[in-house]
Amino acid sequence: MTSPIIEFRVALTAQDYDRLVAFYEDVLGVKAVDIWTQADNKGVLYDMGRATLEILDENSAATVDQLEVGKRVSGQIRFALEVADVDAVVARAVAKGATLLHEPAVTPWNHKNARLQSPDGLQITLFQVLAPD
């Protein structure tokens, strides 16, 4: 089935643009597909792979927070990014200024999840899909 949405784009406004760009490039290894600079205006666009929108009710959000952090902590928006090696990405993220909210742990759905807070305060779940037992 073809989606009526051609592209899902999230726009972040950064208080410290250069720090946040370095965080995403150095931690996740993403490369800019477009960069624009006009006087004091800067922007960058990354291809982040396939995008999906996940909508949770309050109970589900609380359950995910409990599994990933041990208590309810996330706000209305949280990124969830699938990566090949959660442990390696967590180490790079913390080195680049992220706050580790919970060490990687295996979820009931067999993902290895870790929760971070990025340097700009956004909560990010990093997850790695594990091979079936």
Class of domain 17-129: alpha beta
Which tens digit of pLDDT belongs to each residue from 65-74? Answer: 999 999 999 9
Residue 21 sits at φ, ψ, to 5 deg, of -60, -45
- Over range 78-107, report the average pLDDT: 96
pTM greater than the 0.85 cutoff: yes
